Amino acid sequence: MKKLHLLLGFTICFFFLQAQEIDTGEAEMEVITIKEWNFLLCLNSSGFSVGFQQGKTPNYKDKHLWEVEFSYCIHYKSVLGKTRPDGRSFCFGKLYDLFFLRGGYGYQRIIAHKPYYGGVQIRYFIAAGASICFGLPTYLDIIKLDTIKGLYTESERFNPNNPDHHIGNIFGAARFFNRFHKIAVRPGFYAKTGLNFDFSNNPLKMQVLEVGVSMDMVFPFIQQMAHNRAKPAYFYAYIAYSFGKKKPRYE
């Protein structure tokens, strides 16, 4: 978490310095754009996400956009390991894997315009909207003993209160598709804010580095780890790269 915060701070300082660089060259007519489309790849302090954004630019400073994003949230106490060399890795004590599907509205405004000779354009942004949380329950292969079968394994949903689910009885994680029995679905909302830096040399293409913080909240709450209280909200610091295209006003 601390390393990610340091990386975000270094990135912001670097792009602010880049935006202030002065170069000489012949002045060119600025291309005015009215629409933008971009894909987003994001790494955050609790997982990762991918997304798509489509926006309009009614003037040279403002941008209004709609976005869709799919993210995976990892609990900070999750530790992947094995109890058997031939068993699948699992996180002991994990009750759910959490996935978020987001859809919402965002607003961006330029605070440092890109000069005609090149550089970095800086925008601040805010976004919020509705989300759906999908909780994928943990299923494990539990070692069983039968007088006829002998030792065998059976796929069961992890229950920390079940004495058979002691770590010594766990062979490994169950097959991935065995976990789709009782998916928890929760409605919620999200919000995020931060800065993005467009460093593309082509006025009709986007190459953007984005840093910020975001929050997801769902109702009712989901207990992600055993012996830990269910969290009402999930907070992240993140860094993202996006790429896309812009549509000029006059083609």
> Residue 8: what pLDDT?
52
Overall number of domains in the chain: 1
Instruction: Give the C-alpha separation, 61 to 98, whole Å.
Output: 37
What pLDDT digit, counting tens, does each position of 135-159 carry? 999 999 999 988 887 889 999 999 9
> Residue 27: what pLDDT?
42
Does the pLDDT value for residue 1 go beyond 70?
no
Between strands 47-56 and 62-73, the pairing is antiparallel
Does the pLDDT value for residue 11 go beyond 80?
no
Does the pLDDT value for residue 229 go beyond 80?
yes
Torsions phi, psi of 178, nearest 5?
A: -75, -5
> Residue 24: what pLDDT?
41
> Residue 22: what pLDDT?
40
C-alpha 103: how far from chain center? 13
What pLDDT digit, counting tens, does each position of 86-123 carry? 889 999 999 999 999 999 999 999 999 887 667 899 99
Which residue did the predictor score with more confidence, 20 or 128? 128
> Residue 94: what pLDDT?
93
String of DSSP letters for 9-46? HHHHHHHHHHHT--------PPPPEEEEEEEEEEEETT
pLDDT grade for 134, boundaries at 50, 70 and 90: very high
DSSP 8-state assignment for residue 85: T
pLDDT grade for 70, boundaries at 50, 70 and 90: very high
DSSP 8-state assignment for residue 249: S
Does the pLDDT value for residue 125 go beyond 70?
yes
Read off the CATH number of the domain in which 58 is found. Answer: 2.40.160.20
CB 238 within 8 A of CB 213: yes
> Residue 30: what pLDDT?
61
Tokens for 73? 């949230």
Span of 1-5, 188-192, 226-230 with lowest mean pLDDT: 1-5
How high does pLDDT run on average in the chain?
86
Domain containing 59: what range?
2-20+28-248
pLDDT grade for 19, boundaries at 50, 70 and 90: very low
Average of pLDDT values for 75-93?
89
